[in-house]
Structure 1
Amino acid sequence: MRRLVYYVATSLDGRIAGPDDDVTIFPFDDDYGRELAADWSDALPTVVLHGYGVEPSGTRWDTVIMGRRTFQPAIDAGLADPYAHLDTYVVSTTLSPSEFPDVTIVDADPAAFVSELLRRPGGDVWLCGGGRLAAALAPQIDRLVLKVNPVVAGAGTALFDGTDHPVDLSRWQLVDHRAYDLGVVVLTYDRLPGGDGERNPVG
């Protein structure tokens, strides 16, 4: 059964981007990048993997879904698909599919689309942002992987942006954790059976 995995960098105060969608608030250096390439190669942009001489492992997931604002840096950089090693879906009502043929534009209810996507054959699906899309898909998230960075953003995009009810992490189980020398701690949670908002099994 495919799972929806929300893997994302966050600040100590729960922001996945600072004001004006600024992600440069998160510390990064070459050593940390190489460690991520070894541990989470499927989650790095294809061009970054090539820079490190690393091939994606294909063991984490084979599909990525993101919101319009998460896709914007790729547009600004002239990248047709930032994750060319994955099947890429962008949820947007404003982007034209004909202008972005290398990704699949989803102009539909994201929750309904993801329910259908999870029923298709394949590996796990990575939700890489943004916060509003994560809030819309919160009941469907099976695994939550937080890269907790030693920074306080103060403002910006929330981890679950715009949700009108608490996301109860007491209904989740910590299954893995790793600390990196840069000060980032990666925490992995799996949703417990019967957890709040648990989606129906798919097969």
Structure 2
Amino acid sequence: MRELVYYVAVSLDGYIAGPDGQFDAFPMEGDHMQGIFERFPDTIPTVAAAAMDLDQSAGRFDTVVMGWNTYAVGLPHGLTSPYRHLDQVVFTRSHLHDDLGERPNLTVTDENPVEVVRRLKAEPGRSIWLCGGSALATTLVDEIDRLVLKRSPLVLGDGIPLFAASGYAPRAFDEVSTTTFRSGVVISEYARRR
């Protein structure tokens, strides 16, 4: 069965973006980027990977799921299909009929995310990347098989948390690996404890 992997950048104080969705504080230069290019080349937007001549075929994902706010970050830049090398599923209730133009390999849906992810997990293929955001991650928390956290050495002070508040309900994960880079970024992978 395929795994759902929440792969995301996070600050030391647990935010994946600023209050208005800003993510420019996260370091985009440094030795951690080479680690990302090697281990997670499929998480780089298709256009950026092509510009870097980055081979995305060896990645671990073939599908990405995300909420509308995460998806919409690329719209002002004309990115209507940011990860067109993957099957993309965007969850929304209010933007189903927006005219997005051409959007290869992208489905916009108001279906229940849990049902969609369970269906995807039952199909053959590689892992499924949960790209964000926090509300979707909270909805899918019991479907998440792995967390891959790119912890950056910064404190945002406010913003969009890794998971939205949903009531106290501990879920245990075991550390699989941790890599520390000179840039100060630490990439840790955790598997759900069964």
Q: Unpaired segments of 5 or more residues in structure 2?
A: none
The CA distance in 1 between the partners of 2:188 and 2:97, in whole Å, is: 35
Among 162, 166, 187, the residue aligned to 2:165: 162
The CA distance in 1 between the partners of 2:10 and 2:168, in whole Å, is: 20
C-alpha contact 2:9 2:152 (8 A) present in aligned 1: yes
Q: Larger % of strand: which?
A: 2
* 2:178 partner SS: strand
Please state how far the C-alpha of 1:179 moved relative to its aligned partner: 1.2
Instruction: State the aligned residue count.
Output: 191
Say if 2:193 is the partner of 1:183: no
Q: Match for residue 44 of structure 1?
A: 44
Say if 2:138 is the partner of 1:135: yes
Q: Match for residue 15 of structure 2?
A: 15
Q: Match for residue 196 of structure 1?
A: none
The CA distance in 2 between the partners of 1:9 and 1:41, in whole Å, is: 15
* 2:93 partner SS: coil
Letter in 1 for 2:47: V
The CA distance in 1 between the partners of 2:34 and 2:48, in whole Å, is: 10
Q: Match for residue 80 of structure 2?
A: 80
Change (3 A) 1:91 1:45: same
Q: CA RMSD in A?
A: 1.6
C-alpha contact 1:28 1:182 (8 A) present in aligned 2: no
Q: How is 1:14-163 mapped onto 2 (pairs within 5 angstroms)?
A: 14-29=14-29, 31-96=31-96, 99-100=99-100, 101-102=103-104, 103-163=106-166
Please state how far the C-alpha of 1:51 moved relative to its aligned partner: 2.1
- TM value normalised by structure 2: 0.92
Q: Unpaired segments of 5 or more residues in structure 1?
A: 194-203
C-alpha contact 1:97 1:104 (8 A) present in aligned 2: no
C-alpha contact 1:37 1:49 (8 A) present in aligned 2: no
Q: Cα deviation per residue 1:47-72 (whole Å; 9 max; x = unaligned)?
A: 22112211103431100000000001
Further displaced range: 133-142 or 17-26:
17-26
Letter in 2 for 1:152: V
Change (3 A) 1:13 1:167: farther
The CA distance in 2 between the partners of 1:176 and 1:47, in whole Å, is: 29
Q: Cα deviation per residue 1:122-179 (whole Å; 9 max; x = unaligned)?
A: 11100010000000000010000000000111111010013223443xx211011111
The CA distance in 1 between the partners of 2:17 and 2:131, in whole Å, is: 12
C-alpha contact 2:61 2:128 (8 A) present in aligned 1: yes
